[in-house]
Amino acid sequence: MRLKLLFFVGLLLSLQPYFSQETYAKPEDFKALKNRPLIVQTMEVKESVISTIKKKKAKAKKPEKIKKYEKMIIDYRNFVKSYNTNIKIAIEKYWKLNTEILYKTKEEVEKIKDKKSSKYAIFWYSASTTSGSGSIFNPSLSIPTLNYNRSEKGDVKIDYTFFMPYLNKKENVVTLADFILSLKLMQNHIESIEKTGKKRYTFKDYAKEEAKKNCKDLAKKDLVISATDIHKKATLSQIDLAYKNGKVIKYTDEEIIKAIENEEDVIIGFSIPFMIVDSSISRILFFKSFINVKTGKIYTCFGTVTGELNDPYFRVKEFTKYSKCK
């Protein structure tokens, strides 16, 4: 099941000026979050968004441009409907931290925030982007973000944010499988924060620590990568030859989605966004992790060290490194 992710629509829906993922909650704060009823914020079609697209359509002269804006409206409506359906599926099956789950609109959530109520934990989706302080402000760069926060905090220094890995980066699509994987990774990370007592412990830092601990377990394990994530200068045969522990298998995005939804015991490589650089060349930075999609166990973290390539594509170099894990 796919959700059309229109990044510019995401910005209109819920814009948050992040450069990188942050974890502001202290380890002990998560106890308060977990013991509260969880409000999952749903989406509604905003007529202001529809109106903005219609105005662009009215100014368009070429037929292909008109069709483009007509499709945007359809995709936006479908996105809102699909999001509300699929976030409920994912939360109700995979979210284990809060026992009581409620669903409310953004307007209802804002009223609770305004009252500074300390009764709830709130979960919502947003699109994170840069604040525009770089030499080039590129608002088209954004990252799907899941947020988990105490209701009295409003939108300042949110307790926990998670930048979602998403399977189809070129077409800006988020799948139900992306939500399932994200919820598993978020909860594993939060559990680690509580266990270790680490403060400001971002998901990137967590992935690096998990990779140090678990990379040795790749011995005799096969890996799966998306066909669309192989760098143009690399081939599957070259990658497979460089990886000495087992085989590297190529899946389509649809096969990866199925593996996640079916909770198959397979290790799949994901490009995980961790920062938006807004400079002379604005871009999203990624690290690459191989993750067991059934358990959320992280085996590798490539792209966070100086000299490592932090784009979303797999190359031969990193698999040579994985084969030497100890």
**pLDDT reading at 6 higher than 50:** no
- pLDDT in the model for residue 16: 52
**pLDDT reading at 196 higher than 60:** yes
Element (H, E) at 29: helix 29-34
Write the pLDDT tens digit of every residue in 213-246: 999 999 889 999 999 899 999 999 999 999 999 9
Residue 314 binned pLDDT confidence (cut-offs 50, 70, 90)? very high
d(CA 131, CA 108): 27
- Which residues face 160 on adjacent strands? 23, 148
Q: 3-state SS of the chain: helix, strand, coil percent to 5?
A: 40, 25, 35
Which of 16-20, 89-93, 107-111, 292-296 has the lowest average pLDDT? 16-20
Average pLDDT value for residue range 177-200: 96
Domain ranges of the chain: 2-196, 203-322
SS3 sequence, 110-174? Answer: HHHHHCCCCCCEEEEEEEEECCCCCCCCCCCCCEEEEEEEEHHHCCCCCCEEEECCCCECCCCEE
d(CA 49, CA 285): 29
Write the pLDDT tens digit of every residue in 25-61: 999 999 989 999 999 999 999 888 899 999 999 998 8
**3-state DSSP assignment of residue 212:** helix
Average pLDDT value for residue range 167-179: 74
Residue 177 binned pLDDT confidence (cut-offs 50, 70, 90)? very high
Residue 72 binned pLDDT confidence (cut-offs 50, 70, 90)? confident
> How much of the chain, in percent, has pLDDT values that exceed 70?
88
d(CA 52, CA 112): 29
Are the CB atoms for 222 and 250 separated by under 8 Å? no
